[in-house]
């Protein structure tokens, strides 16, 4: 796959330096200690959801698979590591031949998750797995945060379409990833052409205030746009006086005018006034699109307004107040020697301060209630209980270093809609609360259960 498909600038040949330096220093030290080739299991999880969120959304998995495939050390990268004296020559020689040869399992992209969910499991030697920590976390933390915000906004919007238009509010490459995550979460289109080109997301866009200000009269701007794009275009009506602009827009385009966009003011009040005016002018099929720093709460407040579509920018690309999911990548099991037949031993961080983890290679399943709605996220080690055998969540993503589960974005988007629909109704409430279902841990040796 071409690096352009990763959203990388053309002068970045691989993803190998999307990595914290200590991954390399750990690798070198482990090689010297003879522990680098020990079979290891790392897991990605979060200890808690962002404050007030009821569920999380797994997003970025497809980008992680691309990043792992492109994790290569070419001459330029190796030269940089040598020049900075980051690792020694023995380690550089090992890196020159690096190819991830392990296995990756994870929640399928678009699925929902909860505290303690083993969102992704990376298995291989310590050496090959530890290097992937930073790039995996950077992708999953960013994309899952955006997708969760998008999911809440799309839920608040109901059946009304919602447009992603946040490219100008974030880094140019992050904007492409954010658009992908937003589409996964339920948005219907994007203004970002790079996202449309790379991921096939529908793109939309007409004009900004600058286009109106360019012309001597608002009427001239409207006429120029209609002449160029047809009567079905969307005219921006809040550059000057909204009522006057609506009247002019219908005079220019006729009742066939596609839509008007409102980008400022009291959107609830203005939308009602504009709808009444459009109807009185005979433009009963002209739609109303509202923008202007919307978030899920603003969208919900407009549920009763005569609004046909929403456009969201800043709040979407910043995760609506939660730009990360605080996911971590922790070693949970490792062999006692480099012998490939050596059994795995559970390991876990036990320090105080709320940063403990649970050792062992884990599975996850979702238990349903009598009505078919999710009632618990069950995470365990050892054998999977028979009653949960057909409810397991992790799927194989990479086998022996080869990607085996790449999916079209529309499939992922549909999966998220189904996963969200399978949660209790309270999942879509915007009021602050705990995760909509609890996480239960099952000890594989005793079968005992504990809460999250």
The 10 Å CB-count burial string (b at 16+, else e) for 391-425 is eebbeebbeeeebebeeebeebbebbbebbeebbe
Chain segment 355-395, per-residue pLDDT in tens: 778 999 999 999 999 999 999 999 999 999 999 988 999 99
CATH of region 3-131+327-451: 3.20.140.10
pTM, 2 dp:
0.93
Task: Report d(CA 434, CA 48) in Å as an integer.
Answer: 10
H or E element at residue 56: strand 56-57
Handedness of CA 148, 152, 153, 157 (dihedral sign): positive
What percent of the chain clears pLDDT 70, i.e. is strictly above it?
A: 95
Q: Is 70 exceeded by the pLDDT of residue 287?
A: yes
Q: Is 50 exceeded by the pLDDT of residue 10?
A: no
Chain segment 84-137, per-residue pLDDT in tens: 999 999 999 999 999 999 999 999 999 999 999 999 999 999 999 999 999 999
Q: Output the pLDDT for position 444.
A: 59
Neighbouring CB atoms inside 10 A of 20's CB total: 14
Residues 6 or more apart in contact with residue 96 via CB below 8 angstroms: 73, 78
Chain segment 224-266, per-residue pLDDT in tens: 999 999 999 999 999 999 999 999 999 999 999 999 999 999 9
Task: Report d(CA 73, CA 79) in Å as an integer.
Answer: 9
Q: Output the pLDDT for position 379.
A: 97
Averaged pLDDT score across all residues of the chain: 94
Chain segment 193-228, per-residue pLDDT in tens: 999 999 999 999 999 999 999 999 999 999 999 999
Q: Output the pLDDT for position 357.
A: 83
Chain segment 136-167, per-residue pLDDT in tens: 999 999 999 999 999 999 999 999 999 999 99
Short-list 134, 97, 124, 130, CA closest to 28: 130
Q: Output the pLDDT for position 3.
A: 41
Short-list 256, 264, 214, CA closest to 237: 264
Domain boundaries, given as residue ranges, for the chain: 3-131+327-451, 147-321
Under 8 Å between Cβ of 388 and 449 = no
Q: Is 50 exceeded by the pLDDT of residue 6?
A: no
Q: Output the pLDDT for position 370.
A: 93
Chain segment 398-448, per-residue pLDDT in tens: 999 999 999 999 999 999 999 999 999 999 999 888 999 999 999 754 444
What CATH superfamily classification does 147-321 receive? Aldolase class I (3.20.20.70)
**Mean pLDDT across 279-297:** 97
Task: For residue 293, count CB atoms less than 10 angstroms from its CB and return exposed for 0-12, middle for 13-18, buried for 19 or more.
Answer: exposed
């Amino acid at each position: 796959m071409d690096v352009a498909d990763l959203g990388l600038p053309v002068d970045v040949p691989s993803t190998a330096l999307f990595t914290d330096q200590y991954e390399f220093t750990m690798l070198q030290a482990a090689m010297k200690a003879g522990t680098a080739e020990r079979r290891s299991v790392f897991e990605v999880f979060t200890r808690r959801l962002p404050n007030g969120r009821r569920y999380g959304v797994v997003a970025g998995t497809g980008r992680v698979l691309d990043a792992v495939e492109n994790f290569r050390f070419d001459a330029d990268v190796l030269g940089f590591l040598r020049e900075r004296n980051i690792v020694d020559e023995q380690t550089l020689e090992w890196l020159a031949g690096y190819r991830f040869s392990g296995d990756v399992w994870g929640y399928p992209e678009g699925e929902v998750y909860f505290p303690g969910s083993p969102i992704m499991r990376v298995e291989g030697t310590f050496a090959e797995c530890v290097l992937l920590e930073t790039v995996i976390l950077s992708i999953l933390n960013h994309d899952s945060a955006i997708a969760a915000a998008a999911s809440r906004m799309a839920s608040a919007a109901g059946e009304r379409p919602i447009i992603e238009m946040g490219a100008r509010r974030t880094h140019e490459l992050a904007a492409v990833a954010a658009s992908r995550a937003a589409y996964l979460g339920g948005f219907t289109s994007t203004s970002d052409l790079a996202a449309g080109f790379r991921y096939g997301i529908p793109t939309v866009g007409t004009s900004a205030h600058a286009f109106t200000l360019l012309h001597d009269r608002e009427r001239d701007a409207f006429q120029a746009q209609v002449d160029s794009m047809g009567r079905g275009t969307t005219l921006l009506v809040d550059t000057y006086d909204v009522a006057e602009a609506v009247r002019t827009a219908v005079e220019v385009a006729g009742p066939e005018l596609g839509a008007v966009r409102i980008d400022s003011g009291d959107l609830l009040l203005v939308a009602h006034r504009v709808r009444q005016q459009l109807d009185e002018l005979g433009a009963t099929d002209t739609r109303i699109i509202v923008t202007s720093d919307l978030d899920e709460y603003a969208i919900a407040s407009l549920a009763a307004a005569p609004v046909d579509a929403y456009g969201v920018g800043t709040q979407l690309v910043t995760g609506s107040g939660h730009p990360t999911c605080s996911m971590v990548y922790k070693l949970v099991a490792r062999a006692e020697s480099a012998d490939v037949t050596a059994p795995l031993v559970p390991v876990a961080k036990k320090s105080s301060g709320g940063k403990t983890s649970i050792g062992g290679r884990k599975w996850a399943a979702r238990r349903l209630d009598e009505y078919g709605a999710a009632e618990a996220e069950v995470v365990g080690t050892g054998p999977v209980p028979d009653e949960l055998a057909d409810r397991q969540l992790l799927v194989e993503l990479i086998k022996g270093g080869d990607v085996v589960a790449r999916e079209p974005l529309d499939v992922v988007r549909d999966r998220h809609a189904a996963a969200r629909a399978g949660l209790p109704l309270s999942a879509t409430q915007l009021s602050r609360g705990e995760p909509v279902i609890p996480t239960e841990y099952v000890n594989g040796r005793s079968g005992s259960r504990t809460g999250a």
